[in-house]
Amino acid sequence: MNQELEKIKQNVIKCTKCDLCKTRTNAVPGKGNFQSDVIFVGEAPGKNEDEHGEPFIGVAGKKLSIALDAAGITRDQVYITNIVKCRPPNNRVPKISEKDTCQEYLEQEISIIKPKIICILGNTVFNSILGGSEIIKFRGKVARKDSQLYFLTIHPAATIYNQKLIDVLKSDIVKLFKLITELKNKKEVMVDIEYSS
């Protein structure tokens, strides 16, 4: 692992900057390939993640793996993280104050990995990072803010009770990796939504 990322990981593991540290079992640092072209960003760890200290290893994680597989990609090729690194009690949505406090870790992960594109998983993340809502209307689209590209898709957990959505997630992830190939070939990709800070 990259040394700077390892340092962030260690800081996350011992972090006590917000109250979520009081109820967590384990903090859940980001995980994966530091040379990845894409960072997947989820909302917050769930029960399994909290127990094991790894992101997206529960049922939602399985759905993410299935979608990656559809694009011929394995988990170890990409980097996966969350907006907040500790599980909120009973999986409630993270508070604004918790997201704000935890934000520096995500910013550090992004500045080290320098992904070509950041994949936003679901509405909470869409709202936190881009101020958006109704991801279902915007999924499959490319956004840009401050010269960083984002790809918008649904949260893998949304596919658990809605079988139709797994095909949506799969086709979005296939599209994402096509875009990444274009970006690697130095081609411009079409940006659907521009945000400014």
Residues that bind ligand URA (CB under 6 A): 42-46, 49, 55-56, 58, 60-61, 82, 157
Q: Of the two residues 65 and 182, which places its CB atom closer to ligand URA in the complex?
A: 65
Please tell me whether residue 17 binds ligand SF4 under the rule CB under 6 A.
yes
Cα–Cα dist 159/169, whole Å = 8
- If the CB atoms of residues 24 and 155 are measured against ligand SF4, the closer one turns out to be 24
Question: Do residues 195 and 144 touch, judged by C-beta distance below 8 A?
Answer: yes
> Where does residue 160 rank: exposed (0-12), middle (13-18), buried (19+ CB within 10 A)?
middle
Residue 41 as a binder of ligand SF4 (CB under 6 A): the answer is no
The token duo for 157 is: 């957990």
Dihedral Cα 125, 8, 179, 122, nearest 10 deg:
-10
Pick the binder of ligand SF4 from 6, 10, 21, 107 (CB under 6 A). 21
Number of C-alpha atoms within 13 angstroms, CB side, residue 166?
A: 15
Q: Would you say 23 or 192 has its CB closer to ligand URA?
A: 23
Q: How far is the CB of 119 from ligand URA (least distance, A)?
A: 12
CB closer to ligand URA, 61 vs 115: 61
Tokens linked to 194: 């521009």
45 contact choice in ligand URA, ligand SF4, none (CB below 5 to 8 Å, kind-dependent): ligand URA
State which of positions 109-128 bind ligand SF4 (CB under 6 A): none
Q: Which is nearer to ligand SF4, 53 or 179 (CB)?
A: 53
DSSP-assigned letters across all residues of 83-127: SSSSPPGGGPPPPHHHHHHHHHHHHHHHHHH--SEEEEESHHHHH
Q: Phi and psi at residue 157, in whole multiples of 5°?
A: -65, -25
Pick from 5, 8, 12, 119: which binds ligand SF4 (CB under 6 A)? 12
Stretch that binds ligand SF4, among 11-19, 114-122, 132-140, 159-167 (CB under 6 A): 11-19
86 contributes a contact to ligand SF4 by CB under 6 A = yes
d(CA 189, CA 109): 24
Contacting residues toward ligand SF4, per CB under 6 A: 12, 15-18, 20-21, 27, 84-86, 98, 101-102
